[in-house]
Amino acid sequence: MNIPKSIVRIFLILPNGQIVAQLRDNIPGIASQGMLSTFGGGVDIGESPNQAAVRELEEETCLEKKL
């Protein structure tokens, strides 16, 4: 498994204060299989943490956020 040097985590908080989490797939080889998790992932080479957070949010939720 290729472990990134830097990661980002995104906490989605609804207006009523609830936190949105994802249920991780039960696929061998992925981190935290079958567990609840925040959104996020590795920062790619040449990418800022903010850019990585936006990319990961879009990849994992199909939501778009512009910084």
Summarised one tens digit per residue, pLDDT across range 49-63 is 999 999 999 999 988
pLDDT at 67 over 60: no
Instruction: State how far Cα 39 lies from the chain centre.
Output: 3
Q: Using DSSP, state whether 9 is helix, strand or coil.
A: strand
pLDDT at 28 over 70: yes
pTM equals 0.77
- Structure confidence at residue 57 (pLDDT): 92
- Is the Cβ–Cβ distance between 7 and 42 less than 8 Å? yes
Query: What is the chain's alpha carbon radius of gyration, rounded to the nearest angstrom?
Result: 13
pLDDT at 9 over 60: yes
